[in-house]
Structure 1
């Protein structure tokens, strides 16, 4: 399959490598250039849309709007193209994209992913896919090359982004829960290591707790998923909540904590650095 990629950030590079390994012919455009073995770099994003399938992995709504929509590139895409947007975008913008793709006469598949760059490198992402059945079937070989499981989120693309935003919201809640639990236990004489051994072996032996408890134990937050991007996703969650006219107090709390971390200059650290803010509170 001929596959174009728009955006070769940390996730996009790993996705591109796995598509090449799977035998696809891959071309890519990236604003800041770059190189991935086996990938043909093109000079414009419009060229990346001249494929059987194009996968967009830009950072947010504004980037996609600036690169693809402002220049009306969808209208010049190859006929029959399936456009897969793997970015985490707002539900409102996803609805707008549905209309843009309808007018351009090309298929739109939502495919935000669960997983960090190290997971992407192994081809073990969880893909939250939504779109018309025929478009999803055409995209399946590419999605199978980058993920260990494709989760069917239905036929409406905005649903997949709502699910992804909700997942990221819950991860930050888990991080904050661990930090607050450490405040209670450590101030009463229990070491973090022993407390996490307890919870990982009993009530909370799941991936977010396993992944981020180690950072909290060491009080080290090396770059992974950036706190600045986590704050963006929590903002998207708050926008979705506002659109539903619902109050979500736990969401407001973790958004506030992540905002504190970013405002403290920690935006490039792993998003679990929000725990450091909680633990440092007087």
Structure 2
């Protein structure tokens, strides 16, 4: 008769941004004892308002059995684990890190080796799905790690994800798959922006472009999800331009490590870099279309040219 591993007594979530806050809320609502960690006081306050506990320093999560890192980049992962107030030296041996940030596969392998030396487990577990699916517990997790780490994390994964892809025993495989996803996501967003910009430049109404393309072969998930941001003129960051500057640069760096050219991803990277350089880095990634606004003078949907809602996107 099989036995189910008991759920962890305490779970930590480092990084209470759009994705991390949604995950922390989902786990809290699923009955886990969750402590969120973020240097941003307003982020901590937001989680406390939902009924959770919060701390400022990763080291304060020392009594957690499982800790998820949901931060922006590899440097932040390094700092929260091994920095001055890092977690690795304070966790009890046998505790588990779910590394959910998008990082280079080579870094995932190095982190696993360092955490192992501290007596800690690691599941290489990047996530996808956006803030809404994080909040609803319907993320996709692209994970790799030893079977015992999957068993240890099972109850947490069940609560936060609709799909958990077990990609192998080796660290780095999950991060490799996430880079494939991010290459496609970045290219699709940049392509969607270019297509809508071209339509506007040719005199087509952007809402009509959206309606036709979402019922045609040129549609993509990103087109259907991001173009409504353009139609409403709302660039409130759900996933920022600078995220794709970082992620597509990781694709480029990994391709260079493998001596493999990634020209389509490189072209998309240049568009996101142009948007960031023009001052749109912290806006929603759909703001990559503003590069075309600057270069070709197209008029984007807005009410009084101030990025407020003008049209209602398809539901």
TM-score, normalised by the number of residues in structure 2: 0.82
Query: Are residues 1:47 and 2:60 paired?
Result: yes
Deviates more, 1:118-127 or 1:255-264: 118-127
| Counterpart residue number, 1:28 | 36
Report the Cα offset of residue 258 of structure 1: 0.3
1:83-102 to 2 correspondences below 5 Å: 83-102=97-116
Q: Distance in 1 between matches of 2:143 and 2:175?
A: 9
> Aligned match of 2:22 in 1, 6, 14?
14
**Superposition map of 1:86-125 within 5 A:** 86-125=100-139
Matched residue SS, 1:281: helix
Q: Indicate conservation of the 8 Å contact 1:74/1:101, yes or no.
A: yes
C-alpha displacement of 1:181: 2.8
Task: Tell me, in whole angstroms, the C-alpha distance in 2 between the residues paired with 1:210 and 1:81.
Answer: 40
Which of the residues 265, 271, 275 maps onto 1:251? 265
Return the alpha-carbon distance in structure 2 between the equivalents of residues 43 and 179 of structure 1. Answer: 38
Mapping for residues 25-174 of structure 1, pairs under 5 Å:
25-33=33-41, 34-35=44-45, 36=47, 37-42=50-55, 44-71=57-84, 73-174=87-188
Residue-by-residue CA offset, 1:153-180 (whole Å, 9 max, x unaligned) = 2222312112222212212211222233
Q: Which residue, out of 205, 213, 223, partners 2:227?
A: 213
Quickly say closer, same or farther: Cα 1:49–1:274, change in 2 above 3 A: same
Instruction: Pick which of 246-255 and 159-168 moved more.
Output: 159-168
- Aligned partner of 2:191 in structure 1 is 177
1:234 matched residue in structure 2: 248
Q: In 2 relative to 1, CA 268–158 (structure 1 residues): closer, same or farther, beyond 3 Å?
A: same
Taking the aligned partners of 2:142 and 2:231, their CA distance within structure 1 comes to: 31
Q: Per the alignment, in what secondary structure is the counterpart of residue 54 of structure 1?
A: strand
> Matched residue pairs, number?
282
8 Å Cα contact 1:49-1:81 kept in structure 2: no
- The alpha carbon displacement at 1:114 in A equals 0.8
Counterpart-to-counterpart distance in 2, 1:104 and 1:258: 38
Separation of aligned partners in 1, 2:155 and 2:200: 49
Give distance in 1, aligned partners of 2:169 and 2:225: 32
For residues 31 and 136 of structure 1, the distance between their equivalents in structure 2, rounded to whole angstroms, comes to 29
Pairwise CA RMSD: 2.1
Offset from partner CA, 1:40-99 (integer Å, 9 cap, x none):
224532231422211112221111222321346424321221111111122222121011
Q: Does 1:200 align with 2:208?
A: no
CA contact (8 A) 1:179 1:279 kept: no
Measured in 2, the distance between the counterparts of 1:218 and 1:103 equals: 50
Measure the CA separation in 1 of the matches of 2:197 and 2:31: 50
Residues 180 and 279 of structure 1 are in contact (CA less than 8 Å); yes or no, is this contact kept in structure 2? Answer: no
Shift of 1:227: 0.8
User: What TM-score does the superposition give when structure 1 sets the normalisation length?
Assistant: 0.91
Cα distance in structure 2, aligned partners of 1:252 and 1:31: 33
Q: Distance in 2 between matches of 1:238 and 1:165?
A: 10
CA–CA separation in structure 2 for the residues paired with 1:215 and 1:224: 10
